[in-house]
Every structure is written in structure tokens, then in C-alpha cells.
């Protein structure tokens, strides 16, 4: 948890440093950085590596080493091809990502930065292999430093370098290099460093077979990202909209990761144990415990981000000369996007309850369909005459809740699920969180207006603390049992 917190906070700092660059450059960078990320989940931190680890762990030591060599060699070969294609086809790729109406993104700058950041994909793929090998051998400390190294290297270089397109692209790539290098000593120390080989290993077929359902979800999610990036580059939105979206995404992912996904993931090993033993009573009880905890922790974070979105977005504006288009776009997107933290946090855990029972196809298809339907909602709700930029978050909320309903329905039919207990928890914590958000929104009226870093931090800290205190008081009155568990942990930590 501490490593995740450090990485997320450094990610906010990194984004703050990026925002110090001219808006025209950060908008182009927001588009360019999407290009390696289109393949990142497939080849690096997503489908391929997640499929490799279960196969790797099922083998003896000698077979593991041979598979690691073959897997590394194949992945390097794929990345070399993609690197060459990405650099060569950058003009065409960028033309797909930005609007044809001239838009608010400089095409030539986006192409130039795309070519600079393409090596990031290769570096992050190798880093993910290292992370997977170390995690499979239960060396977690070393891997927790990798994302921190990425952020620190990027921040240091971008702080020292001139504010040009060249250094903005190089800063991203250097961060990927740091994330790889910091893990190499541990690989060598534990004798896990693979020697790449292009020789085919029979178990690679199993890896590719396991990869198929993950690839479906990843492809759907990346299609969603392409649509969003192209839509935001339209001339209907001012310059700074791409950067504002990226700023909102950083804060949303921090809230989702820290306060919805991480608390549930702490229970995941126990869930796997119950699943392996086919102890379905324990499995159900632990699922309910996790979902109750997600709702309890994530609800106030969601409400406070909605209420204090302008103050949260202000942390990215160091000086008084901030770009109003960037600030306004980020605020609008975050205001409604934060509403989805609870349902998407619940979905993140529910999906894993299927994986641990080796029922991967159902959640993968549901997730893929959800992403595609979300694109349709974007087309309906994000038009300027409907909700505009607020439509992104509303679309995400709708699909998050619908996905909740479908996944819970399947879970209930297959294993049985005490829906009433979860609904009672939601009826308690959601209104309490809403009241906390309303109180925070009223309190900030007495504080300096948002817009820049210091007023933003002041407003968010003061009103956020007051809102959270009210939420905890209401949870005490409502006898939400997770509050007692939280207080016990605080006492033990003290």
C-alpha cells in the first residue's frame, strides 16, 4: 500500500511538472503518449505478461528458465518490429487519433513526440517481464520501486530540461528506462536474469491461449481511448482540453487505485485460497467483506472529488498564468468522472472473483461489451448541446452501474450472493458521503478561490478534512462496522 501511495502521489507531481510546459506541447504529448499505451496493456502490464506468469509458475526451475528466455526473446522481437513501425507510421497513427477538422492539437508536434516516446513501449515491456519474474519468485520489495523510479526519473529530467517538445518526449522515455534499470540488480542477485532466445518453447502456446480473453478486453478499452482522444481534439473544444483530460485521469486513477482497488486486492490472496479449497461459504463472506469495504472507503473519496474538483485540478497549476481552457476541461471531466469510483472499484474486485474460479471468459466479454457501449454513450451525451465534457463521467457511471448489476447477477446465480447486505451498506454510506460532499462544497465558499496550486491545496485539504470528519461521524451514528475495523488499524499503526 505504501509503495502504491508513493507511486500515485509522484504521478501527480509528474503531471504537475508536465503542466508547466506550454499548453500546445502538453496537448500534443497527451496524444503522443497514447500511442505506446495502445500496445502497453497488451504487451507489457496487461494481457501478455499476466498470461505468462501462471504458466511460468506451473513449471519446474529448469523449464521456467527456458520459458523465460524464449518469452523474453519473442517479446523483444515483437517490440523491435512495433518500434520500427511506430516511428515509420507515426503520421498515420496520429491522424487516426486527432480530429480532421483542424482541431486543437498541433499535428506535426504530436507526430514528432510520438516518435520520441515509442521506445517507451519496449522499455516498459522489458520492465514488466522483470516485474513478473520477481513477483513470481515472491520478491515484491524490488518491484514496488519500479513505478517510483519511473516517476522520479521523469520528474528530475523535466525539471532540469528546457521546456521543448524534444525534452518532453525524452523525459517520458527516460522514465521507462529507469523503471527497467532499477529491477536489474534484483534479477541478477536472485539469478532470474533471462538470456533472450528466439527458440520456440512449447509452453508459449499456453501463454498465447491464456492471452486471448485478456486481449479482447484490452482491445475494447484501447478502442475507447482512441475515440476519446479523437473526440477531445475536435475544434469544438478549446486548446488545453487534451491536457485537462489527462490531469483528470491522473486524479481519478489515484482515487480508484488507492481507495477502491488496493483495499480489495489486499483480500485477494485469501479469496484465491477459498476458491482453491472450494469453500464457497468463506468465498461469499469474503466477497461481501471486500465489497462493503470498497463502498465504505471509496464513497467519501468519490463525493469529495466531485465537490472539490476545481480545487483538485488546481494542484496542476503552479503559477498565476494558468491556461483556463485546460483548467475548465479538467474540472468538468473530473466532476462527473469521480462519480464512478465506487461502481468501478466494485467491478475491479468482482472480476477477480471470476478469475479465481477459472471463469475468465464471462467477465472479459462483459467488460469488452461495457467499453463498447460506453463509446455509444459518449456519442450521445458528450455533444455540446447535451452534457459536453460532463458526459464522459456520466457515461462511465452508467456503464459502471450496469456492469455491477450483470456481474453480481452472474455471481449470485453461480455461487449465491447476499445482495441485501451489500445494498444496506450502499444505502448507508452513499447518502453519508453525499452529505459530506455537500458540506465540503459549502465550506470552500469561505476559502480563497481555486485556480492555482496553493489555494487549491488549501481548499482541498481544509474542506476535504472537514467533509471526511463528517462522513466518519455519520458512519459512527449509522453503525457502519468497517469504521471499527479502520480505527483498529489506526491504533495498531500508532
The domain limits of the chain are: 1-211, 237-494
pLDDT of residue 467: 96
pLDDT, position 2: 58
Return the HEC string of the chain: CHHHHHHHHHHHHHHHHHHCCCHHHHHHHHHHCHHHHHHHHHHCCCHHHHHHHHHHHCCCHHHHHHHHHHHHHHHHHHHHHHHHHHHHCHHHHHHHHCCCCCCCCCHHHHHHHHHHHCHHHHHHHHHHHHHHHHHHCCCHHHHHCHHHHHHHHHHHHHHHCCCCHHHHHHHHHHHHHHHHHCCHHHHHHCCCCCCCCCCCCCCHHHHHHHHHHHHHHHHHHHHHHHHHHHHHCCCCCCCCHHHHHHHHHHHHHHHHHHHHHHHHHCCHHHHHHHHHHCCHHHHHHHHHHHHHHHHHHHHHHHHHHHHCHHHHHHCCCCCCCCCHHHHHHHHHHHHHHHHHHHHHHHHHHHHHHHHCCCCCHHHHHHHHHHHHHHHHHHHHHCCCCCCCCHHHHHHHHHHHHHHHHHHHHHHHHHCCCCHHHHHHHHHHHHHHHHHHHHHHHHHHHHCCCCCCHHHHHHHHHHHHHHHHHHHHHHHHHCCCHHHHHHHHHHHHHC
Confidence (pLDDT) at 403: 95
For residue 42, the model assigns a pLDDT of 66
Structure pTM? 0.88
- What per-residue confidence (pLDDT) applies to 46? 58
What's the confidence (pLDDT) of residue 201? 81
- Quote the pLDDT of residue 383: 85
| The predicted structure's pLDDT at residue 5 | 74
Residue-level pLDDT at 318: 78
Q: What is the pLDDT of residue 203?
A: 83
- Please write the tens of the pLDDT for every residue from 448-485: 989 888 999 999 999 999 999 999 999 999 999 888 87
Residue 3: the pLDDT is 62
- Position 47 scores a pLDDT of 62
122-154 residue pLDDT tens: 898 888 888 878 877 767 677 778 889 999 999
* pLDDT at 6 (0 to 100): 77
pLDDT (tens place) for every residue of the chain, 494 residues total: 556 677 888 989 999 999 999 999 999 999 999 888 777 766 655 566 667 777 777 788 788 888 888 888 888 888 899 899 999 999 999 998 888 766 788 999 999 999 999 999 889 888 888 887 887 776 767 777 888 999 999 999 999 999 999 999 999 999 999 999 999 998 888 888 888 888 888 888 887 777 776 666 666 777 788 888 888 888 778 888 999 999 999 999 898 888 877 766 677 778 878 887 888 899 999 999 999 999 999 999 999 999 999 999 999 987 656 788 889 999 999 999 999 999 999 998 898 888 778 787 888 889 888 988 998 999 899 888 889 999 999 999 999 999 999 999 999 999 888 889 999 999 999 999 999 999 999 999 999 989 888 999 999 999 999 999 999 999 999 999 888 877 777 676 55
pLDDT for res 488: 75
For position 387, what pLDDT does the model report?
92
The pLDDT value given to residue 71: 84
Amino acid at each position: 500500500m505504501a509503495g502504491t501511495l508513493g507511486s500515485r502521489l509522484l504521478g501527480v507531481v509528474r503531471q504537475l511538472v508536465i503542466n508547466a510546459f506550454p499548453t500546445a506541447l502538453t496537448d500534443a504529448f497527451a496524444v503522443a503518449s497514447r500511442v505506446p499505451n495502445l500496445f502497453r496493456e497488451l504487451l507489457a502490464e496487461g494481457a501478455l505478461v499476466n498470461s505468462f506468469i501462471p504458466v511460468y509458475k506451473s513449471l519446474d526451475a529448469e523449464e521456467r528458465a527456458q520459458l523465460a528466455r524464449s518469452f523474453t526473446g519473442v517479446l523483444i522481437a515483437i517490440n523491435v518490429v512495433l518500434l520500427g513501425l511506430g516511428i515509420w507510421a507515426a503520421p498515420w497513427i496520429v491522424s487516426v487519433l486527432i480530429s480532421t477538422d483542424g482541431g486543437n492539437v498541433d499535428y506535426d508536434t504530436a507526430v514528432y513526440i510520438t516518435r520520441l516516446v515509442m521506445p517507451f513501449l519496449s522499455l516498459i515491456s522489458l520492465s514488466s517481464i522483470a516485474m513478473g519474474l520477481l513477483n513470481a519468485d515472491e520478491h515484491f520489495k524490488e518491484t514496488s520501486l519500479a513505478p517510483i523510479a519511473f516517476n522520479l526519473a521523469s520528474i528530475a529530467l523535466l525539471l532540469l530540461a528546457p521546456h521543448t517538445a524534444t525534452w518532453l518526449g525524452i523525459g517520458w522515455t527516460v522514465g521507462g528506462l529507469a523503471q527497467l534499470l532499477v529491477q536489474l540488480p534484483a534479477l541478477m542477485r536472485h539469478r532470474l536474469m533471462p538470456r533472450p532466445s528466439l527458440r520456440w518453447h512449447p509452453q508459449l502456446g499456453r501463454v498465447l491461449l491464456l492471452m486471448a480473453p485478456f486481449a479482447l478486453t484490452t482491445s475494447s478499452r484501447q478502442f475507447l481511448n482512441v475515440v476519446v482522444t479523437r473526440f477531445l481534439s475536435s475544434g469544438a473544444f478549446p486548446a488545453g482540453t487534451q491536457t485537462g483530460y489527462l490531469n483528470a485521469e491522473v486524479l481519478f486513477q489515484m482515487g480508484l487505485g488507492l481507495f477502491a482497488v488496493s483495499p480489495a486486492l489486499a483480500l485477494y490472496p485469501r479469496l484465491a485460497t477459498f476458491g482453491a479449497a472450494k469453500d464457497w461459504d468463506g468465498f461469499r463472506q469474503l466477497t461481501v467483506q471486500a465489497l462493503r469495504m470498497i463502498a465504505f472507503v471509496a464513497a467519501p473519496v468519490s463525493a469529495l472529488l466531485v465537490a472539490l474538483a476545481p480545487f483538485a485540478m488546481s494542484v496542476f497549476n503552479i503559477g498565476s498564468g494558468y491556461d483556463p481552457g485546460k483548467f475548465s476541461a479538467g474540472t468538468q471531466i473530473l466532476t462527473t468522472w469521480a462519480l464512478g469510483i465506487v461502481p468501478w472499484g466494485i467491478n475491479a474486485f468482482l472480476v477477480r472473483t471470476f478469475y479465481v474460479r477459472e471463469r475468465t471468459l464471462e467477465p472479459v466479454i462483459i467488460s469488452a461489451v461495457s467499453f463498447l457501449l460506453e463509446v455509444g454513450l459518449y456519442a450521445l451525451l458528450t455533444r455540446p448541446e447535451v452534457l459536453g465534457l460532463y458526459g464522459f463521467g456520466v457515461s462511465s457511471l452508467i456503464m459502471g452501474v450496469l456492469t455491477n448489476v450483470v456481474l453480481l447477477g452472474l455471481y449470485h446465480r453461480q455461487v449465491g450472493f447476499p445482495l441485501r447486505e451489500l445494498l444496506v451498506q450502499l444505502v448507508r454510506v452513499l447518502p453519508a458521503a453525499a452529505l459530506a460532499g455537500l458540506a465540503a462544497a459549502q465550506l470552500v465558499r469561505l476559502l480563497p478561490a481555486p485556480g492555482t496550486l496553493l489555494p487549491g491545496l488549501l481548499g482541498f485539504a481544509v474542506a476535504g478534512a472537514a467533509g471526511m470528519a463528517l462522513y466518519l461521524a455519520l458512519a459512527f451514528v449509522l453503525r457502519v462496522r468497517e469504521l471499527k475495523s479502520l480505527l483498529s488499524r489506526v491504533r495498531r499503526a500508532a
